[in-house]
Structure 1
Amino acid sequence: MIRALTKTLAACLALALPLQPAQAEEPVRAELRPGWRLPNGDHMAALHLSLAPGWKTYWRAPGDAGIPPSFDWKGTRNARDIAVLWPTPHVFWQSGMRSVGYKGDLVLPIRITPGNKGEITLKTEMQMGLCSDICVPHTLRIDATLPAEGSTPDPMIASALASAPFSRGEASVRAVRCSVRPVDGGVSLRAEIDMPRAGAEEEAVVESGQPTVWAAEPQTRREGGTLVTETKLMHMDGKPFMLDRSRLRFTVLGSEHAVDIQGCDS
């Protein structure tokens, strides 16, 4: 339903709330798009980041060469749940290392489930990495009030939602088979994903779904109708761990579209 919004939205954009003064020398300019209330009572807002030419920032799983973003929602009022909905990222290669993220404009939707029908006080800090020839940490501070009324969708937010990876069903993924074996320092994971091609030069990103378990950059290849990706999973402190296959997450990035796959079938 949200993907279909882009076909019917009016041309005018919703009012944006500046987060900080724009300065020409800064690598990023940011504003909060206050968004609208969904029919179920949730509120859809977004961060709009404009990156200076030559600069990039990172996706939730940034790769070995990236800096993972983080959010601290302390201070927010009237929010039972907050979900960041990531648009499809790009793969960048530099000096033989892969990173996953964005350049240019990034509209990052935020879906908020309020505790009641009143307005929402959104207050947080976003820690992010910005990279060009050098990489620098950057903090965005959000302090805004989202109105309780308003049902007109923001076309920029709707477009970002429509650019999210396809679900397993939308991409006709037939099966996901996972096999693991112990190796020095962790476990080796091989995932066989039966799915149509997502476009040329498919890349896979593997996330463990466990905050203390890190996935190395995978090796991905095609074997007919099956995408095979292999990686090593390690505990950040070098400790032994139990792997929950239902929490494994695979994102396949292709030239035509991306696919978000949760868990293994076997």
Structure 2
Amino acid sequence: MKRTLIPLILSALLAPLPASAMDVIKGEILQGWVRPDGNRVAAIRMTMAPGWKTYWRAPGDMGIPPHFDWAGSKNLSAVAVEWPTPTVFREENLTTIGYKDQVVLPLVITLPTKGAPVHLKTTIDMGVCLDVCVPAQLHLDGVIDTDATRAEPAIAASLAQRPYTAKEARVAKATCAIRFVDGDLELETTITLPNTGGPELVVIETGHPDLWVSEADTTRHGNTLTSKVDVAHSTGGPIALNRAHIRMTVLGSKHAVDIQGCTPG
């Protein structure tokens, strides 16, 4: 798909929310626990109206990636969202990636003052979908002050659903080849790993928010998984790729694998 079509397609998919965003998706903060290092694990639980879904961090060719704004939070120096393995939704001429009905997003929160509560304040801009995809926004505000050290079951279950690491999945090698084809930048990744269950989808992220990446054309031969994507700048600017920042997630029917970085191929 050519990048000039992206704004037109997104415009066609966006429509007014049915009544209000709160009728479609609700959010709440889960307290979690204190880690041995004094930092905290908490979570955001999103519950959608029946049949509705929201997007993963890499939502597919036409999805709306979620954006978290933590401004106004107190006793918080960093937040890492730990994404559970998403579902691949395949429809005619459209593939999106996300979560249906409900998702728990674990948060690993780094505190400048250990032992003190965290005032967590966030605005989440996202997309939600049923027959059409629409923009939504959540505002969450709460104090995390538990002194529990035992894992909270709902958050622990979500953490257990994260993709395997490259080491856990026995990835032997991951290479990236960057080339221009008919004036467009093409990125080809080659990953050596056991089969994750077909059909497999490789999601490629560049680490640069202004770069658009097409859906991967993926093929497997034995233990070699090859994927090709087109990469374009959202505003037509120059493209710079750092192989160390390229992230490849293999989504198979049996399990998923998260691979950070690649070598020249």
User: Could you state the TM-score of these two structures normalised by the residue count of structure 1?
Assistant: 0.88
Structure 2 matches for 1:234-253, cutoff 5 A?
A: 234-253=232-251
| 1:164 equivalent among 147, 162, 165 | 162
The letter for the 2-side match of 1:132 is: L
Asked whether the equivalents of residues 186 and 232 of structure 1 are also in contact (C-alpha less than 8 Å), the reply is yes
The superposition leaves residues 203-247 of structure 1 with CA deviations (integer Å, 9 ceiling, x where unpaired) of: 110101112222111100101110000011111111222211111
Asked whether the equivalents of residues 31 and 146 of structure 2 are also in contact (C-alpha less than 8 Å), the reply is no
The letter for the 2-side match of 1:182 is: F
Map of 2:65 onto structure 1: 68
Structure 2 matches for 1:51-90, cutoff 5 A?
A: 51-90=48-87
Instruction: Return the alpha-carbon distance in structure 1 between the equivalents of residues 134 and 36 of structure 2.
Output: 40
| 2:222 equivalent among 201, 221, 224 | 224
3-state SS of paired residue (1:171): coil
- What's the CA shift for 1:29? 2.9
3-state SS of paired residue (2:58): coil
Bigger shift: 28-37 or 115-124?
Answer: 28-37
- What's the CA shift for 1:80? 1.2
Asked whether the equivalents of residues 186 and 235 of structure 1 are also in contact (C-alpha less than 8 Å), the reply is no
RMSD between aligned residues: 1.5
| 2:123 equivalent among 122, 125, 128 | 125
The superposition leaves residues 91-139 of structure 1 with CA deviations (integer Å, 9 ceiling, x where unpaired) of: 1122311100010220111110000121111011011111101222211
The letter for the 2-side match of 1:261 is: I
Structure 2 matches for 1:134-213, cutoff 5 A?
A: 134-147=132-145, 149-184=147-182, 186-213=184-211
Percent of residue pairs identical: 44
Asked whether the equivalents of residues 185 and 238 of structure 1 are also in contact (C-alpha less than 8 Å), the reply is no
The letter for the 1-side match of 2:248 is: F
Map of 1:27 onto structure 2: 24
- What's the CA shift for 1:180? 1.1
Instruction: Return the alpha-carbon distance in structure 1 between the equivalents of residues 103 and 189 of structure 2.
Output: 31
3-state SS of paired residue (1:200): coil
Instruction: Return the alpha-carbon distance in structure 1 between the equivalents of residues 141 and 101 of structure 2.
Output: 24
- What's the CA shift for 1:184? 4.6
3-state SS of paired residue (1:149): coil
3-state SS of paired residue (1:160): helix
Map of 1:262 onto structure 2: 260
Q: Does 2:97 match 1:97?
A: no
Structure 2: runs of 5 or more not aligned: 1-19
The letter for the 1-side match of 2:193 is: M
Instruction: Return the alpha-carbon distance in structure 1 between the equivalents of residues 228 and 67 of structure 2.
Output: 27
User: Could you state the TM-score of these two structures normalised by the residue count of structure 2?
Assistant: 0.88
Instruction: Return the alpha-carbon distance in structure 1 between the equivalents of residues 39 and 182 of structure 2.
Output: 46
The letter for the 2-side match of 1:67 is: I
Instruction: Return the alpha-carbon distance in structure 2 between the equivalents of residues 174 and 90 of structure 1.
Output: 25
Instruction: Return the alpha-carbon distance in structure 2 between the equivalents of residues 140 and 67 of structure 1.
Output: 14
Asked whether the equivalents of residues 57 and 101 of structure 1 are also in contact (C-alpha less than 8 Å), the reply is yes
Map of 1:15 onto structure 2: none
The superposition leaves residues 139-173 of structure 1 with CA deviations (integer Å, 9 ceiling, x where unpaired) of: 11111111162212110000000100000000000
